Amino acid sequence: MKNKNLYNYILGIADNSLILGQRLGELCGHGPNLETDIALTNISLDLLGQTRNYYQYIARLHDKEKTEDDIAFLRSEREYINVLLVEQPNTHFGFVMARQFFYDVFHLMLMEKLQESKDETLSAIAKKAIKEVSYHFRFSSDWVKRLGDGTKESHYKMQEAVDELWRFTDEFFHLTEADKAMIEAGIGVDVSNFKEAYYIKVSEILTEATLSIGASKYFQKGGKQGIHSEHMGFILTELQYMQRTYPNMKW
């Protein structure tokens, strides 16, 4: 492999988008109304489109011939390095929006900084993705406010989701060895630099939504090291089914 650290750095960003895109894809036809259903499906497609750009790039970093499909479909669970947040299930609509919101705040801040990368391909991907990610943030933050400051039931469900998912947010800011190497090379983004800004922005919107900030001081991690929750295997079973059943199939 030409540059293992670069490969793993990009893979970490791409796997987040792939798994969250897959989760949102499960909701196609199940949204609370037609407009929201279409919006969630479009966000899923945006994330999968970004994933393709990343995977196509890292496929070129392999010494052996690899395609984006090989990277997406032919890895084992431990070889995916997405954060635990994105693999959490669609428990109810409040969970969907809270998960999306926590991710979108981070994703937008990451794309803003990644545009400055010395790697021209990564910079170009970020510049192309920034408009989509900005829309994702507006969409999810608006829903958090509507549900949090809505009816008694919607407030309860939104608070339940925030309390449950809060423990996964800190993992965004854990730096892997690949992260550290790419930061030093001027290619990667030191996400720890905007950790405080992340929680300030999240807290501002939750407060506007009349929601309490997550009370738990204990955070879960492991996804970035390939140690996933029980949900990940079920996601991959569905994601990889066709390619595993009919190897090398082409449309």
Q: What is the pLDDT of residues 232-243, one digit of tens each?
A: 999 999 888 888
**Residue 251's pLDDT is what?**
61
Residue spans per domain, the chain: 4-245
Q: What are phi and psi of 169, to 5 degrees?
A: -75, -30
Whole-number Å distance between alpha carbons of 159 and 248: 45
Is the pLDDT at 91 greater than 60, yes or no? Answer: yes
Which residues, at least 6 apart from 105, have a Cβ–Cβ distance to it below 8 Å?
A: 137, 141, 198, 201, 202, 205
Rounded to two decimals, what is the model's pTM? 0.94
Sign of CA dihedral 171, 11, 102, 156: negative
**Residue 87's pLDDT is what?**
97
DSSP 8-state code for residue 194: G
Q: For the segment 163-197, what is each residue's pLDDT rounded down to a tens digit?
A: 999 999 999 999 999 999 999 999 999 999 999 99
**Residue 30's pLDDT is what?**
80
Q: Reduced to 3 states, what is the DSSP secondary structure of residue 231?
A: helix
Q: Where are the alpha helices (DSSP H) in the chain?
A: 4-25, 34-59, 68-73, 93-114, 120-148, 152-165, 177-184, 195-208, 231-245
The CATH number of the domain covering residues in 4-245: 1.20.1260.10
Distance spanning both ends of the chain, measured CA to CA? 29
